[in-house]
Amino acid sequence: MRKKMIAGNWKMNMTPSKAKELVTLLEPSIDIPDVDVVLCVPAIDIMPVTDIVKGTNIKVGAENMYYEEKGAYTGELSAEMLTDAGVSYVILGHSERRQYFHEDDAIINKKIKKALEHNITPIACCGETLGQRECNVTLNVIRKQIQEMFEGIDAFDAADCIIAYEPIWAIGTGKVATAEQAQEVCHSIREVMKDLYDNITADKVRVLYGGSMNEGNALSLLTQPDIDGGLIGGASLKMEFAKIVGSAHTNVAV
Ligand code: PEP
């Protein structure tokens, strides 16, 4: 039985003062032992947020990380810096990083390997554009992304990674994939993991859906057999996030 996970992606929002206010308000309702709750926050918010959630079940994640160990890479953050600051998850390969910062699957692969080396759990993102969906190539696109992101990673490590299926046309647009569309792709991600590795790995890896998930649609998505949770952008900046965590919790209890 895979444990449900709800991860927030704050993107470039929330000053440290605002971050402290929001997490202080959210904390009592999102500290739930049977759901893994992760707040992926801008680098400058990591330490203040870590301080607030200390002693709870809530974990802190980063939104990006560099693949080199250390050195002359102005502006970048290393895995060691993140772990020392209290980070246990990192979002890698988000479509905004692919689009605006030209990250490709080969770069993301190096980042995943570096995160794993430092015991940071990668939340590796994949997803198709609207054009690709309309051309019926979604499953091919996803297969290629997963194959390249997981190149050279063994089954033991792969099973511990989180994969987030985020159709690009659904991110920040208010257009959510239907539960059937999301389930179809999340199921096919598990099939790809079966082909790349084995049944045990495919069964163990957690697959999240992301793209305009909110309190209204969370339950129908989270009750799909291959959807193990959500990666939440806009709604993670509000108290609504607690409602989404609540939907995952209800789903566990059922
Ligand atoms: C995201 O950016 O990962 C995301 C899912 O955003 P939103 O929920 O705002 O669509």
pLDDT tens digit sequence for 152-178? 999 999 999 999 999 999 998 888 889
Cα 60–Cα 61–Cα 64 angle in degrees, nearest 5: 155
Check if 213 has its Cβ closer than 6 Å to any atom of ligand 1. yes
Burial class (CB in 10 A: 0-12, 13-18, 19+), 100: exposed
Contact 166, 138 (CB under 8 A): no
pLDDT at 130 over 70: yes
| Confidence category of residue 208, pLDDT binned at 50, 70, 90 | very high
166 a catalytic residue: yes
**Best residue among 63, 175, 232 to mutate for probing ligand 1, ranked by most atoms within 8 Å of CB:** 232
Of the chain, the percentage scoring pLDDT greater than 90 comes to 95
Cβ count within 10 A of residue 187: 15
Counting every residue, how long is the chain? 254
First to last CA, the chain: 13
What is the arithmetic mean of pLDDT over 219-225? 97
- pLDDT attached to residue 174: 86
pLDDT at 254 over 70: no
Round the average pLDDT of the chain to a whole number and report it: 96
What is the arithmetic mean of pLDDT over 128-134? 95
Question: Domain 4-253 belongs to what architecture?
Answer: Alpha-Beta Barrel (3.20)
pLDDT at 183 over 50: yes
Catalytic choice (94, 96, 103, 249): 94
pLDDT at 188 over 80: yes
Domain boundaries, the chain: 4-253
pLDDT tens digit sequence for 5-33? 999 999 999 999 999 999 999 999 999 99
Q: How far is the CA of 110 from the centre of ligand 1 (A)?
A: 24
The residue type of 245 is: V
Catalytic choice (63, 96, 103, 166): 166
Contact 230, 222 (CB under 8 A): yes
Q: How far is the CA of 168 from the centre of ligand 1 (A)?
A: 9
Q: How far is the CA of 167 from the centre of ligand 1 (A)?
A: 10
- The residue among 44, 4, 43, 48 whose CA lies nearest residue 22 is 48
pLDDT tens digit sequence for 31-85? 999 999 999 999 999 999 999 999 999 999 999 999 999 999 999 999 999 999 9
Locate the ligand 1 atom nearest the alpha carbon of residue 96 and give its number. 2
C-alpha 231/C-alpha 10 separation (Å) is 10
Check if 8 has its Cβ closer than 6 Å to any atom of ligand 1. no
Report which protein residue has its CA nearest ligand 1's atom 8: 233
| Confidence category of residue 252, pLDDT binned at 50, 70, 90 | low
C-alpha 12/C-alpha 40 separation (Å) is 11
**Best residue among 96, 209, 213 to mutate for probing ligand 1, ranked by most atoms within 8 Å of CB:** 213
80 a catalytic residue: no
C-alpha 138/C-alpha 117 separation (Å) is 31
- pLDDT attached to residue 250: 76
| Confidence category of residue 224, pLDDT binned at 50, 70, 90 | very high
- pLDDT attached to residue 253: 47
Helices (H), 31-78: 46-53
pLDDT at 213 over 70: yes
pTM over 0.95: yes
Locate the ligand 1 atom nearest the alpha carbon of residue 11 and give its number. 2
